[in-house]
């Protein structure tokens, strides 16, 4: 496949056509107001991305429960929307779709990966606390049957509101250690009822959510799922499990599966090391694995399922993107961090740009005199997560001024994010 074919349309099962094969991947924006409504800053950000050439834009986490946020400043849809909320959603989606891109809401529930400042005792499949240092996350409470039913209804309601608000599709977030991913993992799901134990039981909530979302939005509206290829943790969700779940999702008439991987404990999604060793999955690696984190998992999955696949993570070279598509490993290429600075990255690839920048390669939290800390796994992990705050800072700048701030330091970005979170939580209290 030539690079130009990256921009061929893709027809989905529901009958919708994506105008090309490049997607702006979901990235948490942190630009909602204290009521969880989209702001003018969020609209300005997506106006830039909508004009950037991608055929599909995926929002950051749109939370279905105000007590279970991925971070402060998330957009929240936890009720039937009208008035100011519906108007804000329509402003946001109109800006994103003005140039012909699709705009799908990534609907999510954070479960135990809710920060203690938001909820000290979040609900989860089981009372299994995150194995992370720092005390940022509290002890979770095992969900009741009523809690689980409320989650299903919450996803369906959010999807219905998203369609009314102008989104052109939804993506159910079942990856990265958030609630639906927690149910899939035997490491975090230690239940002994119909939602725990066997894979058939652990997938029950996800399939119920997908069915409820489909019923809420109709057959002509794209419904996608973001799914871990694996958690890469001992005793966690494995690739063989992912293959079976993908097969079941295909039977449920999901339109697109985005293949990802990792959790907060093992942040493979960011190309970072976790505290514990990575659990291998026995998938044959190709040379492309060095360029794209999950491409080999997608290739192995593609041989089993007929659902179009999207792969995100690490891809920067145009020729590598074309190879992923031509080899049949994936049908859509997701771009994330490059678009935090270069909002028109898809258009530049179309115009002939051979490679996108790897901004993350040059981000440093520790000054030279503390560089020795990088020799320790914990130090590298801390610096890697701090680097994510630099990308948050770029989204703040794009939303507030329309221009990125590549000269922003990692430390200054970290302080900016912390101040913003504290102010949002104070205003919400």
Question: For the stretch 177-214, what's the b/e string if a residue is b when 16 or more beta carbons lie within 10 angstroms of its beta carbon?
Answer: bbbbbbbbbbbbbebeeebbeebebbbbbbebbbebbb
Question: Is the CB of residue 346 less than 8 Å from the CB of residue 334?
Answer: no
Please name the residue that has the structure tokens 């299903």. Answer: 152
Please choose, from the candidates 234, 235, 229, the residue with its C-alpha nearest in 3D space to the C-alpha of residue 289. Answer: 229
H helical segments located in 295-405: 295-302, 318-326, 345-350, 377-401
Of all residues in the chain, the percent with pLDDT exceeding 90 is: 67
Question: Is the CB of residue 397 less than 8 Å from the CB of residue 405?
Answer: yes
Query: Residue 418 and residue 291: Cα distance in Å, rounded?
Result: 32
Q: Is 144 exposed, middle or buried (0-12, 13-18, 19+ CB in 10 A)?
A: exposed
Query: What pLDDT is attached to residue 145?
Result: 97
Q: CA 219, 257, 79, 399 torsion: positive or negative?
A: negative
Domain presence at residue 381: no
Query: What pLDDT is attached to residue 1?
Result: 42
Which residues constitute the domain of residue 242? 3-355
The total of structural domains in the chain comes to: 1
pLDDT tens track for 266-308 = 555 555 555 555 545 454 555 444 456 677 788 888 888 889 9
Query: Residue 258 and residue 384: Cα distance in Å, rounded?
Result: 23
Domain presence at residue 385: no
Query: Residue 325 and residue 350: Cα distance in Å, rounded?
Result: 15
- Phi-psi bin for 79: left (phi > 0), alpha (psi -120 to 50), beta? beta
Domain presence at residue 87: yes
- Is the predicted pLDDT of residue 365 greater than 90, yes or no? no
Average pLDDT, the chain: 88
Please choose, from the candidates 366, 370, 424, 369, the residue with its C-alpha nearest in 3D space to the C-alpha of residue 392. Answer: 424
Domain presence at residue 154: yes
Query: What pLDDT is attached to residue 176?
Result: 87
Q: Is 142 exposed, middle or buried (0-12, 13-18, 19+ CB in 10 A)?
A: middle
Domain presence at residue 386: no
pLDDT tens track for 138-197 = 899 999 999 999 999 999 999 999 999 999 999 999 998 899 999 999 999 999 999 999
Domain presence at residue 415: no
Domain presence at residue 77: yes
Query: Which CATH number goes with the domain that contains 197?
Result: 3.20.20.70
Query: Residue 195 and residue 42: Cα distance in Å, rounded?
Result: 37
pLDDT tens track for 304-340 = 888 999 998 888 999 989 988 988 889 999 999 999 9
Residue 78 phi, psi dihedral angles, 5° rounding: -125, 20
Question: Is the CB of residue 370 less than 8 Å from the CB of residue 385?
Answer: no
Record the tokens describing residue 203, joined without a space: 């997938």
Query: What pLDDT is attached to residue 42?
Result: 98
| Residue 108 three-state SS | strand
Query: Residue 114 and residue 71: Cα distance in Å, rounded?
Result: 7
Query: What pLDDT is attached to residue 228?
Result: 87
Band of the pLDDT at 130, cuts 50, 70, 90? confident
- Phi-psi bin for 253: left (phi > 0), alpha (psi -120 to 50), beta? left
Domain presence at residue 92: yes
């Amino acid at each position: 496949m030539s690079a130009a074919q990256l921009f061929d349309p893709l027809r989905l099962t529901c009958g919708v056509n994506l105008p090309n094969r490049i997607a702006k991947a979901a990235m948490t924006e942190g630009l909602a107001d204290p009521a969880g409504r989209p702001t003018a800053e969020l609209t300005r950000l997506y106006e830039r991305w909508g004009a950037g050439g991608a055929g599909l834009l995926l929002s950051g986490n749109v939370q279905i429960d105000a007590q279970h946020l991925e971070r402060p400043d998330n957009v929240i849809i936890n009720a039937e929307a009208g008035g100011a909320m519906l108007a804000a959603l329509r402003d946001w989606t109109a800006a994103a779709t003005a140039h012909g891109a699709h705009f799908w809401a990534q609907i999510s529930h954070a479960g135990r990966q809710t920060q203690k400042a938001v909820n000290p005792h979040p609900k989860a499949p089981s009372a299994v606390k995150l194995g992370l240092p720092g005390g940022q996350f509290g002890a979770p409470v095992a969900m009741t049957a009523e809690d689980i039913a409320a989650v299903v209804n919450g996803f369906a309601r959010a999807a219905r509101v998203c369609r009314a608000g102008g989104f052109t599709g939804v993506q159910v977030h079942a990856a990265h250690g958030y609630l639906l991913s927690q149910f899939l993992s035997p490491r975090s799901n230690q239940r002994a009822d119909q939602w725990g134990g066997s894979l058939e039981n652990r997938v029950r909530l996800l399939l119920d959510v997908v069915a409820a979302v489909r019923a809420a939005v109709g057959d002509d509206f794209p419904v996608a799922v973001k799914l871990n290829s694996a958690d890469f943790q001992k005793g966690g969700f494995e690739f063989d499990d992912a293959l079976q779940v993908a097969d079941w999702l295909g039977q449920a008439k999901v339109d697109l599966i985005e293949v990802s991987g990792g959790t907060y404990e093992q942040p493979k999604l960011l190309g970072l090391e976790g505290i514990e060793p990575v659990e291998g999955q026995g998938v044959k690696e190709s040379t492309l694995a060095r360029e794209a984190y999950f491409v080999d998992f997608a290739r192995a999955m593609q041989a089993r399922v007929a659902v179009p696949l999207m792969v995100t993570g690490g891809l920067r070279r145009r020729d590598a993107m074309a190879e992923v598509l031509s080899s049949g490993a994936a049908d859509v290429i997701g771009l994330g961090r490059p678009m935090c600075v270069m909002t028109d990255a898809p258009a530049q690839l179309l115009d002939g740009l051979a490679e996108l920048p790897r901004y993350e390669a040059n981000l440093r939290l520790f000054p030279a005199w503390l560089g020795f800390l990088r020799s320790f796994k914990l130090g590298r992990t801390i610096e890697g997560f701090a680097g994510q705050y630099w990308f948050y800072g770029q989204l703040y700048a794009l939303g507030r001024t329309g221009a990125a701030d590549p000269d922003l330091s990692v430390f200054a970005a970290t302080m900016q994010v912390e101040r913003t979170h504290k102010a949002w939580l104070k205003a919400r209290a």
